[in-house]
Amino acid sequence: MEFREVEYMSSLHWAILSPFFIACFIPLVYKQFHRVHTGWFVLFLPIVLFIYFTGFIHEVGDGRHLSASLGWIPSLGINFDVYADGLSLLFSLLITGIGALVILYSIYYLDKDKEKLHTFYVYLLLFMGSMLGLVLSDNLIVLYMFWEFTSLSSFLLIGYWYHRERSRYGAQKSLLITVLGGLSMLGGFVLLSFMGDTYSIRELMGQTGELATDPLFTASLLLILLGAFTKSAQFPFHIWLPDAMEAPTPVSAYLHSATMVKAGIYLVARLSPVFAESSLWFWLIASAGILTLVWGSYSAVKQTDLKAILAYSTISQLGMIMSLLGAGAAALHYESMDKNIYMAATVAAVFHLINHATFKGSLFMAAGIVDHETGTRDIRKLGGLMNFMPITFTITIIGAFSMAGLPPFNGFLSKEMFFTSMVRVTEMEIFNMETWGVLFPVLAWVGSIFTFVYSMIIVLKTFTGKFKPEKLEKKPHEAPLGMLIPPVILASLVIIFGFFPNLLASTVIEPAVAAIQPGLSQKQFQIHISHWHGFTIELYMTLGVILLGSLLYITWDKWKCVYHIIPGRLSLNRMYDALLAGMERGSIGVTKLFMTGYIRTYLVYIFLFFIVSLGITLWREDAFAFDVGNTAPVRLYEVIISVIIATSAIVILFAKSRLTSIIILGAIGYMVSLFFVLFRAPDLALTQLVIETISVALFLLCFYHLPKLSSRKEERVAFRLNNALISIGVGVIVALIALSSHSNKLFESISNYYIENAYEEAGGKNIVNVILVDFRGLDTMFEITVLGIAALGIFALIKLRLARGTLKDENE
Amino acid sequence: MKTNDIILQTVAKVASLVIILFSIYIFFGGHYSPGGGFVGGLLASGAIVLLLLAYDLKTVANMLPVDYKLVVAAGLLISSATVSGALFFDAPLMTHAYQYFELPLLGHTSLHTAVLFDLGVYLVVIGITMTIIQTIGESE
């Protein structure tokens, strides 16, 4: 393989970053050109990017891969390395192509006067950029970063209508589940990098054999798959996807069917060369995929919301692609020419990935149109819309028939290929397939029957039957032209790919398959997708699907009680809710154990920890050696100041009023600053003096809020004894440390370095200030940041309390 | 009881001006003699606190109509901009630059980017002290 470095560096990086840059200007544009729909300004970007990526098709098709590197944190091996091969390119084309259509669609879907368009498009661009970054990164850590960005933007988009309770619930659910997977994936990546000593995917692929024998291999595999499964909504982590349907329909079409949920599939495909040696990889992916397929399609049938049906159908289709990738992984185990059988599974996976994006995208958009023009998505209220929305009806028929696997649409082709792969899986002689292998084609077939049923439900329940105008909020009519264009384009692609599948074969699919199966050179295989294979078992399976599917659809009323076999409280959603509620209760319980709300309790914790940890350290290190040899003579001044400090400290203990203690505390502070003067530290003295002044003023201000000294617990003897012990302990420990640190000089003092270099290097004569602003300037930077945050925190806390007080008054 | 604060108030007005001038002096002199942004900022807020003690929150807020939260933000912005400015000259983060110039009135003077950084610190310190004091003072 040939790599072209550097030349494309800027353009690929820019392509990834451009959505982020554009996103920065969207709020401005929204404000300036409020009368024009913001979407029009965003639309150009995915179109430009799509054209840009199509320019690579030829080059990548020839086996030339584009890569470029940009240093980020080179010392840790984390670099912004981009790498475009067939697989990345396919995803990039999907992201930008579907992205352009979705944005066009959203311009008509979202009202420019009622919706906060700028936030919507900022989130959408954020997503587009991160998704591009995800599929084009070669560095695992960068990939992870973009991965979490997609979770985050998905969260923001699901919660776009945040005033709805269901939106917030769905957003939180998706974030919790996908970020859980993301974190475990990060763990997997780190383990991988331990084994391979690199974060680069390409370099990891080079050491497949050595990795497989590593003891960490299985752990890393499991962790990474958890990430992929949560993201791609595989059973049992699929529960977040139906709730994500609370997002506006363009978002569901884009993120939750065409692109983001396929990130897990991308990851599995991308890392297949690294992990496919292991039989665990095959078993997990293939069985999770096939289970998801069956469960998703089975659950889709009982839904009554159009988008919910589509969500479960997406889940099942993702499972189908996943299982195909699993079967494709078997190809790596066969060195003979025969392996093309399993290669076909990978081809089918890639082909179905494209098909799914086209037909599911058009179906989502059609569902959005129905929702937009009738005011409901409930199939119990819909019906007979055929006459009102002929174009939407046509689009839905094309999409749904393709999804059901009917000829001549593209879904038929990939479904046939899927059956072929599942039948072939049983012929495998590895992985103990002879025992359980037969389940694969059976489950695939069962899943396809349910797929057929819900596809029919979508078309027939919505568009045929009795028209029920009294149940609709709006009088239905056909959508505006602009809203119809994107789904029409997708539906035409469904037909075009159906009739001419080989348009895709050599341009997009072959390079993508070559990226998933790098062991083979591209010349070794030629993909040819044909419609007619003769009277094979696949054909009979399809015929069976149609027959049984139609039968099930007609007899739906008779067998729908099947769905009540599993009681509701055992459903995964209920378990998720219970788990979440339990965790909330648990954390509240644990927090309440030690959070009393009294600052004195917290001070007790802090000081006790201080005494114990430092005391133990002193004792263990045997640091009690006190050397008084090298000390200056004690002068009268110091004695006087020490006596004043000690007396004041004792007086505070017996002070009857708080005002007295505040003033005496101030006196101690001033005395300390006199100490600094004596020891020739003018900077410290000055600072201490001013700080003391200001903190006394602050104390005086807070004075009103503090409780009276002689009240409540303070009078109890045990309480006083405790405090006395703790304060004595702190005093003793601090004194011991001071003495010990003076006696045990473990290393050369650093001050000479500053004395020598302050003027030479930093051009300053005041070493303290030079250290603050120059040598250790970063510390200062973060200190002032922390101080700023603290100030804002105090502001927020007090204002919040005030606001809550007024709120209570209003309620009463 | 009605208190007579005339003397305190008159002195506070003059004294706070002197203190603020002194704080500016200390701030600029920081690189060569004791002082710097931190102490300077504290001194300046000390001056304002003095006004607060002599008058009341409202009067001082009228005298100096400043949103101190914005001062914090401005300070942080200046400091972080100085810190990251070095990146544009292909130098590591936090690299300072200085040069000696012959300026009118001041003569031979060193101009140092550390002053800009310190200006941020100065503003942040004023901002946070005053934000805290004002919020707590207002909450009665």
| Per-residue pLDDT at B53 exceeds 70 | yes
Distance CA A721, CA A725 (A): 6
Residues of A in contact with B124 (CB under 8 A): 784, 787-788
User: Would you say residue A526 has pLDDT above 80?
Assistant: no
Distance between alpha carbon A415 and the CA centroid of its chain, in Å?
A: 31
The angle formed by the CA atoms of residues B15, B17 and B22, to the nearest 5 degrees, is 95
Binary contact (B112, A769; C-beta < 8 A): no
* C-beta atoms of A762 and B140 within 8 A: no
Tokens of A779: 């510390």
Q: What is the pLDDT of residue B72?
A: 92
Separation CA A727–CA A725 (nearest Å)? 6
The rounded distance, in Å, linking the Cα atoms of A116 and A248 is 12
Phi, psi of A84 (to 5 degrees): -115, 110
Integer Cα distance of B69 and B59 in angstroms: 19
- Beta-carbon separation of A791 and B131 below 8 A: yes
ipTM of the complex: 0.91
- Closest among A352, A410, A412, A409 to A542, alpha carbons compared: A412
DSSP A642-693: HHHHHHHHHHHHH-SSHHHHHHHHHHHHHHHHHHHHHTT-HHHHHHHHHHHH
A 745-764 near B (Cβ less than 8 A): 762-764
Long-range Cβ contact pairs of A465-469 (< 8 A, separation 24 or more): A465/A383, A465/A384, A466/A383, A466/A384, A467/A383, A467/A384, A467/A385, A467/A387, A468/A381, A468/A382, A468/A383, A468/A384
Domain ranges of chain B: 6-138
For testing contact with chain A, the best of B25, B128, B130, B134 (most A CBs within 10 A): B128
pTM of the predicted model as reported, rounded to 2 decimal places: 0.77
Residues 635-674 of chain A whose Cβ lies under 8 A from any Cβ of chain B: none
Does residue A800 sit at the B interface (CB-CB below 8 Å)? no
Q: Are A456 and A553 spatial neighbours (Cβ–Cβ below 8 Å)?
A: yes
Look at residue A797 in the predicted model and tell me its pLDDT: 86
Q: What is the rounded CA–CA span in Å between residue A410 and residue A406?
A: 8
Nearest residue in chain A measured CA to CA from B56: A701
Strand order in the sheet with A82-84: A2-4, A64-68, A82-84
d(CA A266, CA A611): 53
SS3 sequence, A167-180? HHHHHHHHHHHHHH
Q: What is the arithmetic mean of pLDDT over A210-236? A: 88
Q: Mention every residue, 6+ apart, whose C-beta is less than 8 A from residue A73.
A: A79
Top-confidence residue, A45 or A474: A45
Closest CA to B114 of A756, A768, A751, A789: A768
Residue A707 CB-density burial (10 A; 0-12 exposed, 13-18 middle, 19+ buried): exposed
| A–B interface: beta-carbon pairs under 8 A | 146
**Given pLDDT bands bounded at 50, 70 and 90, which one contains residue A126?**
very high
pLDDT digits (tens, 9 = 90+) for A271-316: 888 887 788 888 889 889 999 999 998 888 888 888 888 999 999 9
Q: Do A693 and B49 touch (CB under 8 A)?
A: yes
Structure confidence by residue, pLDDT tens digits, A364-398: 999 988 888 888 888 888 877 888 888 888 889 89
The predicted model gives A709-721 an average pLDDT of 67
Residue B17 CA to residue A35 CA, distance in Å, equals 52
Calculate what percentage of chain A has a pLDDT beyond 70: 91
Residue among A481, A476, A447, A480 at smallest CA distance from A462: A476
Q: Which runs of consecutive H residues, i.e. helices, occur in A679-762?
A: 682-702, 717-743, 751-762
Lowest-pLDDT choice from A514-523, A718-727, B81-90: A514-523
Which tokens is A464 given?
Answer: 């045929």
SS (H, E, C) A226-274: HHHHHHCCCCCCCCHHHHHHHCCHHHHHHHHHHCHHHHHHHHHHHHHHH
| Neighbour-count burial for A595-617, b at 16+ CB within 10 Å, e otherwise | eeeeeeeeeeeebeeebeebeee
* pLDDT at site A7: 41
pLDDT at A433: 61
What confidence category does residue A70 fall into, taking pLDDT thresholds of 50, 70 and 90? confident
Is 80 exceeded by the pLDDT of residue A268? yes
Can you give the pLDDT at residue A806? 57
Distance, in angstroms, between A691 CA and closest chain B CA?
Answer: 7
Cis amide bond preceding A682, omega within 30: no
- Taking an 8 Å cut-off on Cβ atoms, the answer to whether B69 and A795 are in contact is yes
pLDDT tens digits, one per residue of A717-758: 788 888 889 999 999 999 888 888 877 777 788 888 888 887
Cα A592 → chain centroid: 31
β-pair type (A64-68, A2-4) = parallel
Tokens of B68: 């101190």
Tell me what pLDDT residue A810 has. 44
